[in-house]
Amino acid sequence: MSEPITGPLERTPLHALHKELGARLVPFAGYEMPVQYPTGILAEHAHTRTAAGLFDVSHMGQVRLTGKTGQSAARALETLVPGDIAGLQPGQQRYTQFTNESGGILDDLMVTSTGDHLLVVVNAACKNDDLAHMRKHLSASCEIEPMFSRGLLALQGPQASQALARLAPSVATLKFMTGAFVTIDGAQCHVTRSGYTGGDGFEISTPADKADPIARLLLAQPEVKPIGLGARDSLRLEAGLCLYGHDIDATTTPVEAVLLWSIGKERRIEGGFPGASVIRKQIAEGAPRRRVGLLPDGKAIAREGAEIAAGGRIVGKITSGGFAPTLGRAVAMGYVEKAPFGDKGPANGTKVELVVRGKPVPAEIVPMPFVKHAYYRG
């Protein structure tokens, strides 16, 4: 989970806290970020699955969109994404994507309606491009306010609710994919019941100067420990969740990525977003490839870039792979071509081979998530 250093690294408001806690810091999306703490990735992963883990995700891009007089920010944003944004009620949150004219994904994002504006969270590596994209296309109808200096904390795990509710009791009644403004330690924060682990949890947007004290308050709760990017990646892989730039990018469509659930039903019919004709054609006729889950035999781990073979030919490529601590075994996901497997493409249970360090490893296509989601729906 580290990247080559291409220039000076930025720091989040929690940088001093990470150093104090003994984090191993690495370059990630232009920031110096904690990949793990002294307990290690496996312990951090297990703690998040059984109690509550605190992640610093302040490197993500937060943006506020407000419709100008007589204009709807939701309708405006719908010209750039396939999600049903206009249908959001105040407090509701939705996952969607910025698409290009070929139906590819420029970034994936979370959008929450507050009633009079939208709060958007985009990926760290894409945030400057996303901001430019919104300014180019939405400036006539929306006030676009980047809030890149704000803190963003993710508190994840089955005991996240009881820990956060001690500081802000009203969060206990929030349901998955909803949000509200709450006061924590005297500061107005925006909290959504969402996250990137497949389990219950929250994302907490804080004023920049309150990120550190709020993080310390959360870490003082008996259930909560700090978690780094290493466990964040293994948790999201177990949950079958896409990582932008790896499992989805400008060359993959939401249909290929098995994200059709995120496209509003009316929007599938009406279009009105970039790449709509390509996406609608794939919905009707099927995509030429699709993202699948894979279970390799034995202990071999198939990493990103490993080829997938069937019937003596290469049929796809791994986009994410690693060890799933909850299952105690290797898992992977990647894209497999439809054509070699007939009209419906590869079925669950199909046997394939993964080429790991030049050697074929038997594997099976399986449904995702690898670990059942545990979102709180009330």
Q: Does residue 120 belong to any structural domain of this protein?
A: no
- Tokens matching residue 49: 């699955």
Structure token digits, residue 333: 């996901």
Residue range 286-310, pLDDT digits in tens: 999 999 999 999 999 999 999 999 9
Residue 9 lies in a domain: no
My answer on whether 324 and 175 are in the same domain is no
- The residue range of the domain holding 195 is 15-58+150-238
Q: What's the pLDDT score for residue 102?
A: 98
Same domain, yes or no: 51 and 181 = yes
Give the separation between CA 153 and CA 134, rounded to whole angstroms: 24
Q: What is the pLDDT of residues 14-49, one digit of tens each?
A: 999 999 999 999 999 999 999 999 999 999 999 999
Confidence at residue 343, expressed as pLDDT on a 0 to 100 scale: 85
Is residue 214 in a domain? Answer: yes
Q: Which residues have CB under 8 Å from 102's CB, separation 6+?
A: 253, 275, 278
Check: CB of residue 14 under 8 Å from CB of residue 215: yes
| Residues 24/227, Cβ–Cβ less than 8 Å | no
Q: Spell 212-250 as b/e; 16+ CB within 10 A means b.
A: bbbbebbeebebbbbbbbbbbbbbbbbbbbbbbeebbee
DSSP class of residue 65? E
DSSP reduced 3-state for 115: coil
Of 26, 62, 259, the closest CA to residue 149 belongs to 62
Report DSSP state, residue 213: H
Q: Out of 206, 222, 238, pick the residue that ends a domain.
A: 238
pLDDT of residue 2: 63
Same domain, 167 and 308: no
Residues of the chain with pLDDT under 50: none
Q: Is residue 50 domain-shared with residue 160, that is, in the same domain?
A: yes
Residue 165 and residue 22 share a domain? yes
Distance (Å, rounded) from C-alpha 335 to C-alpha 338?
9
Residue 192 and residue 51 share a domain: yes
- Asked whether the beta carbons of 63 and 120 are under 8 A apart, the reply is yes
| 154 and 51 co-located in one domain | yes
Q: Does residue 349 form part of some domain?
A: yes
Round to whole Å and give the CA distance between 99 and 77: 12
Q: Which tokens belong to 83?
A: 């999600």
194 within some domain = yes
Among 238, 269, 299, the domain-final residue is: 238
Tell me if 235 sits within 8 A of 321, measured CB to CB.
Answer: no
Structure token pair of residue 6: 């291409």
3-state secondary structure of 49: helix
Residue 12: predicted pLDDT: 98
pLDDT at residue number 241: 98
Bridge partners for 206 per DSSP: 151
- Cα–Cα distance measured from residue 147 to residue 349, given in angstroms and rounded to the nearest whole number: 46
Tokens of 226: 């700090």
Sign of CA dihedral 123, 127, 130, 135: positive
Q: From CA 314, how far away is CA 343, in angstroms rounded?
A: 18
Residue 111 belongs to a domain: no
Give the C-alpha separation, 368 to 320, whole Å: 13
Burial of 281 (0-12, 13-18, 19+ CB in 10 A): middle
pLDDT at 344: 86
94 in helix, strand or coil?
strand
pLDDT at 152: 98
Residue that finishes a domain, picked among 223, 238, 253: 238
**Residue 359 sits in a domain of what CATH number?**
2.40.30.110
Instruction: List residues bridging with 108 in a β-sheet.
Output: 97
Position 339 in a domain: yes
Examine the domain organization and report whether 358 and 229 are in the same domain.
Answer: no
Residue with tokens 């107005």: 188
Let me know if residue 173 belongs to a domain.
yes
Number of folded domains that form the chain: 2
In this structure, the answer to whether residues 49 and 160 fall within a common structural domain is: yes
Say if residue 231 is in the same domain as residue 298: no
